[in-house]
Amino acid sequence: MHETQKKILALLESKGQMFLKYAEIGRQVNVKNIQTVKYHLSQLEKRGYIAIDYTKKLIKKTKDEVAKPINFSKIPFYGTANCGSALAYAEDLEQGYLKVSNSIISDPAGLIAVQAVGNSMNQARISGGPIEDGDFIVVDTKKKSPNNADYVLSVIDDGANIKRIYFDDKNEYVVLRSESTDDTFRDIIIDANDSYSVVGTIRAVIKKPQITE
């Protein structure tokens, strides 16, 4: 529900009923445009939240706003992964769940979550924003064969790493690249002899909650 409509309902709750004076209603909900007030009143009337007696020029509230239930998905959480060099990671050591609203992640099948450490990917272009220290990364483990330039969670010598992946077919290399405001980060070059695997492709970033006490 629009914030103006919530204000109108709160106003009617406090008054019981009001005369249908658009300018006065607008003044009390801090809306100057009379047409905007008329629009929101019509929407509330259409949805049954208010009743308007156009003969007596009276308006009253008829029902409360019903809050929509929030549904959540539970995504297995596996600790931390580095945006620089690799950190410890074990795919079979689940550390609990990340509970995420379905409006953010609607289909959790095959997804896992890790928490990013470091800022070597703070210019990455991923759904949800760049990857900054402390952000949560949602990884699709069903997609272990990424496309060129996908963002991936990979394991190098049993350590987890978040990077953008490129394939050098001529030299048979895999290149893991940082995207950072810090230009000291260098590519990680993987060849066939290295202990390396892709855990999955990064699907989304959930920003670290910024909580004000």
Asked if residue 157 and residue 124 are part of one domain, the reply reads yes
**Which has more confidence, 20 or 210?**
20
Asked if residue 201 and residue 96 are part of one domain, the reply reads yes
Average pLDDT, the chain: 85
Q: Are 114 and 160 in contact (CB under 8 A)?
A: yes
Quick check: is 211 in a domain?
no
Quick check: is 20 in a domain?
yes
Please report the pLDDT score of residue 90 as a whole number: 47
Domain that holds residue 161: 72-206
> With 80 as the cut, is the pLDDT of residue 83 above it?
no
pTM: predicted TM-score of the whole model, two decimal places: 0.64
Asked if residue 116 and residue 20 are part of one domain, the reply reads no
The backbone torsions φ and ψ at residue 147, rounded to the nearest 5 degrees and listed phi first, read: -85, 160
Q: Are 1 and 16 in contact (CB under 8 A)?
A: no
The pLDDT-based confidence of 159 (bands split at 50, 70, 90) is confident
Asked if residue 114 and residue 19 are part of one domain, the reply reads no
Q: Give all strands (DSSP E) within the chain, no chain letters.
A: 17-19, 50-53, 58-61, 72-82, 87-88, 97-101, 111-117, 136-140, 151-156, 159-168, 173-177, 188-190, 196-206
Question: Lowest mean pLDDT: which of 21-30, 77-86, 118-127?
Answer: 77-86
Please report the pLDDT score of residue 208 as a whole number: 82
The pLDDT-based confidence of 198 (bands split at 50, 70, 90) is very high
Asked if residue 94 and residue 52 are part of one domain, the reply reads no
What radius of gyration do the chain's Cα atoms show?
26
pLDDT per residue as tens digits for the range 99-120 = 888 888 878 889 999 999 888 9
What's the whole-number mean pLDDT along residues 78-86?
Answer: 74
pLDDT per residue as tens digits for the range 161-175 = 899 999 998 888 999
What's the whole-number mean pLDDT along residues 53-80?
Answer: 80
Q: Count how many domains the chain has.
A: 2
What's the whole-number mean pLDDT along residues 6-33?
Answer: 87
Q: Look up the CATH number of the domain holding residue 20.
A: 1.10.10.10
Asked if residue 80 and residue 20 are part of one domain, the reply reads no
> With 60 as the cut, is the pLDDT of residue 96 above it?
yes
